[in-house]
Structure 1
Amino acid sequence: MSLTTLKRKYIDLKLVLLLAGFYLMFDIVLLVKVAYMRNYMPGDSPDYFSWTDFLVHNLLFDYIIVVSYMTLIAISTKRFLNKNYSWVKIISIHTIFSILIGLIIRLIFDFYSIIAGRVSLADFDLRKSINAFVYVIDLNFLIYFAMVFIIYTYYYLKQVKEAEKRHSKLESQLVNTRMKMLSSQLQPHFLFNTLNSIAVLTDIDAAKAKDTIADLSDFLREILYSSDSNRISLDEELRILEYYLNIVNVRFSDHLTITKEIDNSLLVKRVPALLLQPLIENSIKHGYSYDHTNLNIKISVYEEGKYLVIKVENDGAPISQTHAELMKKGVGLTNINDRLKNLYHDNYFFEIRNKADGSGVETLIKIPE
């Protein structure tokens, strides 16, 4: 991973500037305090005092160390949040870091003083250095946790805003999915074929004709008026899918067989809404060919570790394009992938591929439970 990528991934410039600005305000308050004491409380101020030493060797030196240290803490904090550490562990780590910041400032300051010749090695007083560290340990503790509070607040607000953006995008994608599905199903060939099948059935099987009309009506109603939730139970998703399957079974009659292999204990699991219908539609669209006039489709849902696996297989024509190429051409498939990415970030798997034994095509989706 390049240095630029690492900076982009772990260093947030706005947060660094926020921390630098906060500590600058602290130094300004300290500066005003020292100036007031020098003028109105001379008895409480040291006899020897140099503004140059105070501004350069104390304030500026301390400012650079603290801001640099807290930048590293901000990077570590982001990793803590990504790792989902417990609050007890996080607070314990930050307590140690709050003590370390005083030690580091003291060590660097003493080392600098010796290197710069401000204090000779022979005159260096370790006890005096320890006393200076202990004298401000409570102040370092409070300043450290104040800045940590800023870091966590910043990341929390950022996550809230990102979550709101994702939610808004998911809602928009769900509406688009519904509209695209409705548009797809309302294409003339779909309606003509379905209505033609119904017309034929009225003379052969009036009851089945009525059922097909009801399925078409229910399916379109589900697309338009069902819940706007981005995730629904697997049971509800299968119920919506059943309306579509009833219609296509009438259209393709004995040339299409659809089977399901689903663990009933998984019916309460939540899955992206309107996920299965476009997968079945894609399987039918690409499965039939001159050499494959009969098509068998199998829908499987099962657990694999901590993931819920959704698999749609067919024994039809193999695909000649890669998954990436299909994503560029298929609007419905691209929409599915975008929704999965927004819902699960990178914690999912989605691929359309030829089966290993060459017996057809399979679509595989893995999502966290």
Structure 2
Amino acid sequence: MIDIKMNWFYRIIIHLVLSVVLFYFVFSLGSTYIYTFGHFNLENALANVSFKKYMSEIEEIFLIYFTLLGIIHGYFYLKKIKIIKAQESQIQIDLMNSRLNVLKAQLQPIFIFNTLDSISNLIETNEEKSQNLIADFGELFREIIESKDENLIPLRKEWEFLNKFISIAKLRYSEDVKFRIKLDHEIMDVLVPSLMLQPLVEYDLSFYRFNPEDKLELTLDVSEVDNKRIRMHIQINGTLKEGANLDTSNSNPVLENIKDRLSALYNNNFEFSMLKENNIIITTLLIPRIYG
């Protein structure tokens, strides 16, 4: 009756009838048992199952019946609440994953358009270089699509993404750009946000000029700190574009997107900073150490 939609008045009537009928049946069985195996004679047994005797104990019967009824309803309601909470948790997880996928999708078009623009500029001046760029871009984009539903991936896989991006960056920008990567190989299985390093590196690079005489150098250091967190440190040294202004406010769409992703993944349990010292831009990200 718990799952049946019914007016409360009819529910009470049904339970009153059931309490009377069921307990009279149990009452009769008890008397029969005592008569059969006890010391009741037939007259005492019939008197014990009489309706008058039964009605004299009706208050106790109702109390027992509705106590049992309350226990049964309480059990099923608690079970239903547990199921509802589990469903709500799953919905929250699905919503978070959908939000993260949307945030990742917002970053990808920027990278796609920038790369396609570079390919367009290279086609007329350097056909071989443009073909290599198309091949590298196609391979990277295929892997991005394959991992689109993964929000946390091993550092090893994130490094593979970044390595392909570096190959594209050298073709897009300049072969003279020096990339120095320092990875702690003991933490290669640590889970990190997917496609997080690429937009950070690309955003930082957007402030610099790419000429052979500028000697642009990018250093990426990923290591473990205080046995609890992973530190991603990006430092670029080169010649800034004229009028380059580092905007780290929440109004910056790229950084806002990155911070939103981090907040959704770590519930604000992260640290993110970006600063400029002369011609050097330093970006630091601290996230919890999580193993898959």
With the length of structure 1 as denominator, give the TM-score of the two structures. Answer: 0.50
Partner of 2:179 in structure 1?
258
SS in structure 1 of the partner of residue 206 of structure 2: helix
SS at match of 1:286: coil
Q: Larger Cα Rg: Structure 1 or Structure 2? A: 2
AA paired with 1:366? L
Q: What letter matches 1:296 in structure 2?
A: E
Residue from 251, 264, 270 that aligns with 1:328: 251
Q: CA contact under 8 A between 1:232 and 1:272: conserved in structure 2?
A: yes
- Preserved contact between residue 350 and residue 364 of structure 1 (Cα < 8 Å): yes
Structure 2 residue aligned with 1:352: 274
* CA–CA separation in structure 1 for the residues paired with 2:120 and 2:245: 33
- How far 1:159 sits from its partner (Å)? 7.1
Give CA-to-partner distance per residue, 1:176-230, whole Å, 9 cap, x none. 423x33421343x64232243355444xxx4x65432210111222233335111
Task: State how 1:23-172 maps to structure 2 within 5 Å.
Answer: 40=56, 158=85, 161-162=88-89, 164-172=91-99
User: What is the SS of the residue equivalent to 2:251?
Assistant: helix
Change beyond 3 A, Cα 1:313–1:166: farther
1:284 paired residue among 205, 208, 214: 205
What corresponds to 1:366 in structure 2? Answer: 286
Report the Cα distance in structure 2 between the residues aligned to 1:354 and 1:338, rounded to whole angstroms: 22
Distance 1:176-1:321 versus aligned 2 partners, 3 A rule: closer
Per the TM alignment, residue 171 of structure 1 is displaced from its structure 2 partner at its CA by 2.9
Give the C-alpha shift of residue 308 in structure 1.
1.0
Whether 1:245 and 2:172 are equivalent positions in the alignment is no
Number of residue pairs matched by the alignment: 227
Q: 1:346 to 1:193 in 2, by over 3 A?
A: closer
Q: 1:160-309, aligned counterparts within 5 Å? A: 161-162=88-89, 164-178=91-105, 180-187=106-113, 190-197=115-122, 199-202=124-127, 206=128, 210-288=131-209, 293-305=214-226, 306-309=228-231
Change in 2 beyond 3 A, CA 1:268/1:354: same
- Identical counterparts, % of pairs: 23
Alignment partner of 1:328: what SS?
coil
Q: 1:155 to 1:347 in 2, by over 3 A?
A: farther
Separation (CA, whole Å) in 1 of partners of 2:134 and 2:145? 17
Q: 1:7-51: CA deviations, max 9, x gaps?
A: xxxxxxxxxxxxxxxxxxxxxxxxxxxxxxxx9469x9xxxxxxx
Q: Distance in 1 between matches of 2:271 and 2:155?
A: 18
- Secondary structure at the counterpart of residue 138 of structure 2: helix
Structure of greater relative contact order (alpha carbons < 8 Å, 6+ residues apart): 2
Residues 368 and 210 of structure 1: CA distance in aligned 2, closer, same or farther (over 3 Å):
same
Q: Please report how far the alpha carbon of residue 275 of structure 1 lies from its aligned counterpart in structure 2 after TM superposition.
A: 0.6
CA gap 1:264/1:158 in 2 versus in 1, 3 angstroms:
same
Aligned partners of 1:198 and 1:366: how far apart in 2? 40
Which residue pairs with 1:98 in the alignment?
none
CA distance in 2, matches of 1:252, 1:218: 19
How many angstroms apart in 2 are the aligned matches of 1:265 and 1:312? 20
TM-score by length of 2: 0.62
Identify the residue that residue 27 of structure 2 maps to in structure 1.
none
Q: Please name the residue that 2:20 is paired with.
A: none
Is contact 2:100-2:264 (8 Å) kept? no
Counterparts of 1:251 and 1:321, CA distance in 2: 22
1:301 Cα deviation after fit:
0.5
CA offset digits 1:46-71 (Å, max 9, x no partner): xxxxxxxxxxxxxxxxxxxxxxxxxx
For 1:185, what is the secondary structure of its paired residue?
A: helix
Q: 1:244 to 1:160 in 2, by over 3 A?
A: same
Looking at structure 2, the residues matched to 352 and 159 of structure 1 have their Cα atoms a distance apart, in angstroms, of 39
User: In structure 2, what is the Cα distance between the partners aligned to 1:359 and 1:315?
Assistant: 6
> Within 1, Cα distance between the matches of 2:203 and 2:178?
15
Q: Could you list the runs of 5+ residues in structure 2 that have no partner in the other structure? A: 1-54, 61-70
User: AA paired with 1:161?
Assistant: E
What secondary structure is seen at the aligned counterpart in 2 of 1:196? helix
Q: How far 1:321 moved relative to its partner? A: 5.5
CA distance in 1, matches of 2:81, 2:273: 37
Residue 255 of structure 1 and its aligned partner are, at CA, apart by 4.7
Counterparts in 2 of 1:183 and 1:361: CA distance versus 1, 3 Å: same
* Alpha-carbon separation, structure 1, partners of 2:259 and 2:82: 27
User: Superposition RMSD on alpha carbons, in Å?
Assistant: 4.1
